[in-house]
Amino acid sequence: MERISYSLFMSKNVCPFEFKIHYNRVGYLPKFPKRFLCAVSKNECKYQSNLLKFFQKPEFVIKNSFGKIVYRGILSEAKYASYTEEFTFLGDFTELKEEGLFQIKILGFDELKNTETPFFEISNQWIFKELQSNIKSFYYQRSGFELTEKFADKWNRPLAHKDDCLEFHQMMNRKGVWNAAGGWYDAGDYGKYIVNGGVSLFTLLLVCKLCESENFVGFKHFESSFSQPFSLLEEAKFEIDFFLKMQDEDGGVFFKVSPKRWDAFVSPTESDFNQKRLILGKSTTSALNFAATLAFASDVFKNYDSEFAEKCKSTSFKAYAWAKENNAILFPNNTEGSGPYADWRFEDEFFWTRAVFFALGILPPEEESLFEQDKKNLPPKFGADWRDTENLGWMILGIYGNEFAQKTLQNVAEEIIKKEKSDAYGISLESFRWGSNGDIANHSLTLALAYYWTHKSKYLKYALNGLDFIYGKNPISISFVTGSANASPKFPHHRLSHSDGVEEPIPGLLVGGINADRQDIHRRPHYPSHLPGFSYSDKQCSFASNETAINWNAPLLALQALLFLFSKEPIE
């Protein structure tokens, strides 16, 4: 078909149209797939009957930093995204393996704006820098710890929230005080939670296990620097030390540390001055999060600190014994100053814990039948989250060489691929819910593990869809990680970032992302459209779309670490 120029459209008094280029705004890896999207609104198209025909074969080029064209390509046929009412066209420049700075240009539309992107990087270094930034994001979330200028720069802060003499919440009807010092702030608030902390910590320990021979996670020859004050192993231990303090004498595990009421956007020091912090719990889910994570930690640390590893194992058994005797104790029904993490189901946490015990060879023989029943009743989902933890059980079984678990997760990976193939933005979500970026990262982690076991390149290809979406190939066209690109969140719902007097937010934090439920609509954040796929607002008040959380950063970190590991290997 003969190409029809934009000028011809204009000469026939047809409404001009606009399109958006969505791409990974930080970079691409030299040996890996490289893709971007060109999106056109349905409203633009309905006025121009020939537009879709014209758009079947538009050309694009990739130019280097000297303006030289280094690659030419043609966009694919259109896919329709109902959640944004757009047609998207895929551009692929995987064959370009040259390193450097590059930009995308769509040809034939010089009369329009935004036909050319800013520069992005092709190298292995950008993923390493983002990995370092993500590891450091947990350092910035440390509670009861002084962040020095040497390592925190302008985001430094004094020690606050020591939490070493906490009263028990009145609902516990318990006298005395408790030491629950340390640990990470959970999200944009100043609460510390075992349930969400367990899922996050466990994911980081998976990285430590998979990459234990790699220097970048600090298993050997580690020297602290501004980019990475602590190794990943040391950062995990900081949270484990907090976990150990949260175990009661009877083996049960307290659920959370919380301010008496929700803090305003004040610093930890001001929070200490304004109100008390309290300890709450216990629950079956917090005990099992503790048991599964500490058992795994015992194996990760056994070659580095045998005494600490043994302590992790013994406390894990103690927590599991408590959970079996108290197998349906619900979360504390308190939301005065912290999130509830409401979970009425316990089977998945029991399976997760038994799977860890089985993988490590420490599952009691009398529990083997329960474990086999768990496997039948709790198949894996696309990814794990704090409420549904069965995938963590399947993942650790696979990592420790269980072929049935590997095959089972591989089958799930195939379903993820089917969903991504049918989606205009290449993602596998059924809907955009709270923390959709965390869901996307977890789904991509499932794919990355399938590649780790099989080395089939299709799993790697589709895992990258999630990474690219998070870093800019999305309907909002921003990188959802603070500080990663010019177009990244500037006003996350994050008390630390809005109380430190620093204009830029703390870097390396993944915000929740697109959330069609918009639970914060009463706060009047500015959403760009009524459509579900545009349900994101870079406003401090938007806790539904712009809050940060450690359980979203953790799977992104795991994905980054595996991709960096794969980047040094030959790709089939």
Residue 333: its pLDDT value, please? 86
- % of residues, the chain, pLDDT over 90: 86
| Rounded distance between C-alpha atoms, residue 199 and residue 523, angstroms | 30
Q: What order do you get walking across the sheet with 86-92 strand by strand?
A: 20-22, 35-41, 86-92, 79-81
What are the pLDDT digits (tens) for 423-459? 999 999 999 999 999 999 999 999 999 999 999 999 9
**C-beta separation of 391 from 383 below 8 A:** yes
Residue 4: its pLDDT value, please? 32
Residue closest to 485 by CA, chosen among 468, 500, 498: 468
Domain ranges of the chain: 6-123, 126-567
Q: Is 108 left (phi over 0), alpha (psi -120 to 50) or beta?
A: left
Count CB neighbours of 259 within 10 A. Answer: 20
Superfamily per CATH, domain 6-123 = Immunoglobulins (2.60.40.10)
Total residue length of the chain: 572
| Rounded distance between C-alpha atoms, residue 35 and residue 471, angstroms | 12
Strand partners, 92: 35
Fold match between domain 6-123 and domain 126-567: no
Give me 86's structure tokens.
Answer: 């757009």
What are the pLDDT digits (tens) for 221-266? 688 999 999 999 999 999 999 999 999 999 999 999 999 999 999 9
Residue 51: its pLDDT value, please? 56
Q: Is 105 left (phi over 0), alpha (psi -120 to 50) or beta?
A: beta
Please list, in sequence order, all residues whose beta carbon lies within 8 angstroms of the beta carbon of residue 106, skipping any fewer than 6 positions away: 19, 21, 38, 58, 59, 60, 75, 115, 116
pLDDT band of residue 8 (cuts 50, 70, 90) is very low
Count CB neighbours of 430 within 10 A. Answer: 8
pLDDT band of residue 114 (cuts 50, 70, 90) is confident
Read off the pLDDT of each residue in 172-178 and give the average, rounded to a whole number: 95
Fold of the CATH domain 126-567: Glycosyltransferase (1.50.10)
Residue closest to 446 by CA, chosen among 476, 405, 495: 405
Q: Kindly give the pairing relationship between strand 120-122 and strand 100-106.
A: antiparallel
Please list, in sequence order, all residues whose beta carbon lies within 8 angstroms of the beta carbon of residue 479, skipping any fewer than 6 positions away: 25, 26, 470, 471, 472, 485, 487, 488
What are the pLDDT digits (tens) for 497-525? 999 999 999 999 999 999 999 999 999 99
Q: Which amino acid is at 337?
A: G
For residue 294, give the H/E element and its range. helix 284-300
What are the pLDDT digits (tens) for 134-172? 999 999 999 999 999 999 999 999 999 999 999 999 999
Give me 27's structure tokens.
Answer: 């970079």
Beta strands, E only, 199-305 = 256-259, 277-280
Residue 12: pLDDT over 90: no
What are the pLDDT digits (tens) for 316-373? 999 999 999 999 999 998 888 899 999 999 999 999 999 999 999 999 999 999 999 9
Residue closest to 309 by CA, chosen among 361, 252, 240, 363: 240
* DSSP three-state, residue 103: strand
- DSSP for 178-214 reads E-----B--BSSS-EEHHHHHHHHHHHHHHHHHTTT-
Read off the pLDDT of each residue in 486-497 and give the average, rounded to a whole number: 97
| Rounded distance between C-alpha atoms, residue 564 and residue 29, angstroms | 9
For residue 93, give the H/E element and its range. none
Residue 412: its pLDDT value, please? 98
| Rounded distance between C-alpha atoms, residue 389 and residue 369, angstroms | 20
Residue 211: pLDDT over 70: yes
